[in-house]
Structure 1
Amino acid sequence: MNLDPDTLMGPLWTLLAFVALGWLAARRLAVDPRPIATLLIYLIAPLTFFRGLIQGGPTPAYLLVTAALFVAAGLVALAISRLARRTLPDEEAAVLAFSSGTGNTGYFGLPVALVLLPPTGVTLYLFGVLGITLYEFTLGFYLSARGRFSMRDSLIKILRLPLIYAFLAALAVEGAGLALPAAVLEGLEVFPPTYTLLGMMIIGMTLGRVTIRQLDWRFIGACVAVRYVLWPLLALGAAWGLQATLGIAPELAMALLLIGVVPMAANVVVVAMELGIAPEKGALAVLLTTLAAPLLIPLYLGWMRPLVGG
């Protein structure tokens, strides 16, 4: 099966429309994106995460995929953080460290997963995405906060994040065998699209405040290198290694490859906005990697899929 770039044009144009709406809201209506970032982090994201975990029907095998992606994202972010602090200012190093452990696995990655993977592969992919999301709002948030706050204050900020408790609540509900009422599940359906819409609009709102002087090609180049060079190679190496040692299924290998080739996550801007650490530079890097995605994702997957039996 060939992945035509046209497959990604629908998500791309929708994304750009959301970004444009955010830009107009900032330029014409003087909308402040900071309260929206707070709303996303403390309310919409936890409920979206809770719904996804409940509906996925977690099993020990699926949760192992979640844990593995969480650990992988954390190790990459810690390594990049150590390197970035030697060459970049603290705030920029914090944004780069956070972004290095995550990607746009939902808005861009999921449509591709639905095209490339069978139902079991899509499920594996989604539980991998849960691991990435869990990283974003635990270790990733801590690394971002350390760009501006002390270790103690950063840890306190993590403990206040409701997404951690949403994760534990979902596991408790599933472990107890409880079934949520249909009305509750129906009500939770509004949160994933709301999360996508507002997350993308924040990029536009932030770009509405950017001037040409804020273009930092060293920082943007570092973000692009981590997202489109380091992660594809790590994903390919992991898929190869796991197939050689554990004999993992091709659909799991493909899910890992897909997680490795998506563009930068919109949450880079959301978290940077909430913490006040260089959100403008993060927004520029997110936009550029997103614009490159329809070309690079088919190119990467077309090269890597035969190598893992996809």
Structure 2
Amino acid sequence: MADIDLSQSLWMLLIFVALGWVAGRLLKVDPRPIATLLVYIISPLTFFHGLTQGQPSPDKLVLTGSVWLLAAFLCVIVNVVAARFFADQERALLAFSAGTGNTGYFGFPIALVLLPPEGVTLYLFCMLGISLYEFTVGFYVSARGRFSVRESLVRLAKLPLIYAFLAGMLISALDWYLPEVAAEGLDYFKYCFTVLGMMIIGMTLGRVTWRAFDGRFVAACVLVRFVVWPLATLLMVILLRASVGISDSLVLAFLLIGAVPMAANVVVIAMELEIRPEKGAIAVLITTLAAPLLIPIYLGYVLPWVLTF
């Protein structure tokens, strides 16, 4: 496990970030319309397509719900604790980031390498829980950093991803299938989501200076992402392993969910709600650079130990 090579995934992501920096710094591209596209069009269609292709069953949806509950719980706890140390917008951004991680275009390639096909499917449904959190509890808590309760709920109700989830579930429940040409068309959106999601980090960094660096905020993000999340998923895995005896593949899927860096959607949501996107971009970049060093060590030591339960 310590020999896992994450360099290809890292370089791919950093190239997208660098292209975004060029677009923002030299071409003066405004990242805000792109954030709106990601939130209101690309993300919902990507999510919908994943649900219609994944054939969700009750046991798989339990995974999605469990990860959603864990993400929401960590978000609420961090939101309460951070209120004592940060201003409203920084607190909201930190709370949102506490419930999510880069499970998609960072974690998913690693899952493809480490897990068998059935394990990859389990990982995908865990990942859906993170995505669903981002556009429900996470979005609401983030919005509360700048808007009233009523305004935050109105903005939440306008998010199409919630309705994309319900539509995808309905189609799967009725055992309907999308026409092949529609499924092929929707497949392109996942690539848009990956590229634009990482480029928006670079665009944001291209518009700010390192004077925007907030050591306390970055330290809090690193603590939550690389300490709190690994401990939370480790505890959950140990309890499930000792009680219901979950498979080795699901153990690894949960541990990987807990070890990925901060999500690029931290910047996307911050950009959409105008809550300190520059601070989010710096924190996301730092955790993304650190993850390839930490993940092999973490999984290499923790996974063999957990599998003994």
Q: Unaligned regions of 5+ residues in structure 1, if any?
A: none
Q: Give 1:186's aligned residue.
A: 184
Q: Do residues 69 (structure 1) and 67 (structure 2) align? A: yes
Q: Give 2:237's aligned residue.
A: 239
Q: Give 1:270's aligned residue.
A: 268
Give the aligned residue type for 1:163.
L
Residues 214-251 of structure 1: per-residue CA shift (max 9 Å, x gap): 11100000000000011111111110010111111111
Q: Give 1:294's aligned residue.
A: 292
Give the aligned residue type for 1:248.
I
CA positional deviation for 1:308? 2.1
How many angstroms apart in 1 are the aligned matches of 2:92 and 2:79?
7
SS in structure 2 at match of 1:190: helix
How many angstroms apart in 2 are the aligned matches of 1:269 and 1:212?
16
How many angstroms apart in 2 are the aligned matches of 1:280 and 1:214?
7
How many angstroms apart in 2 are the aligned matches of 1:27 and 1:220?
23
Q: Count how many residue pairs are aligned between Structure 1 and Structure 2.
A: 308
Q: Unaligned regions of 5+ residues in structure 2, if any?
A: none
How many angstroms apart in 2 are the aligned matches of 1:3 and 1:181?
43
Q: Give 2:252's aligned residue.
A: 254
The answer to whether the 8 Å contact 1:261/1:297 transfers is yes
Residues 65-107 of structure 1: per-residue CA shift (max 9 Å, x gap): 0000001100000000000111101000000000000000011
SS in structure 2 at match of 1:4: coil
Q: Give 2:161's aligned residue.
A: 163
Q: Give 2:208's aligned residue.
A: 210
**Which among 120, 123, 126 is matched to residue 125 of structure 1?**
123
Q: Give 2:136's aligned residue.
A: 138
1:43-54 alignment runs, 5 A limit: 43-54=41-52
Give the aligned residue type for 1:115.
V
The answer to whether the 8 Å contact 1:269/1:283 transfers is yes
CA positional deviation for 1:5? 4.4
Give the aligned residue type for 1:113.
A
How many angstroms apart in 1 are the aligned matches of 2:241 and 2:4?
28
SS in structure 2 at match of 1:189: helix
Give the aligned residue type for 1:125.
Y
**Which among 84, 96, 104 is matched to residue 98 of structure 1?**
96
The answer to whether the 8 Å contact 1:206/1:280 transfers is yes
The answer to whether the 8 Å contact 1:254/1:308 transfers is no
How many angstroms apart in 1 are the aligned matches of 2:30 and 2:122?
37
How many angstroms apart in 2 are the aligned matches of 1:299 and 1:206?
31
CA positional deviation for 1:3? 4.7
Residues 1:174 and 1:224: Cα distance change in structure 2 (over 3 Å): same
How many angstroms apart in 2 are the aligned matches of 1:222 and 1:168?
34
Q: Do residues 303 (structure 1) and 309 (structure 2) align? A: no
The answer to whether the 8 Å contact 1:47/1:191 transfers is yes
Provide TM-score, normalisation by structure 2.
0.98
The answer to whether the 8 Å contact 1:47/1:188 transfers is yes
Runs of 4+ in structure 1 deviating by more than 4 angstroms, as ranges, are: none
The answer to whether the 8 Å contact 2:52/2:177 transfers is no
Q: Give 2:171's aligned residue.
A: 173
How many angstroms apart in 1 are the aligned matches of 2:293 and 2:24?
30
Q: Do residues 201 (structure 1) and 190 (structure 2) align? A: no
The answer to whether the 8 Å contact 1:250/1:308 transfers is no
How many angstroms apart in 2 are the aligned matches of 1:179 and 1:303?
43
CA positional deviation for 1:303? 1.1
How many angstroms apart in 2 are the aligned matches of 1:196 and 1:223?
22
Q: Give 1:83's aligned residue.
A: 81
Give the aligned residue type for 1:236.
L
The answer to whether the 8 Å contact 1:5/1:295 transfers is no
Q: Give 2:3's aligned residue.
A: 4
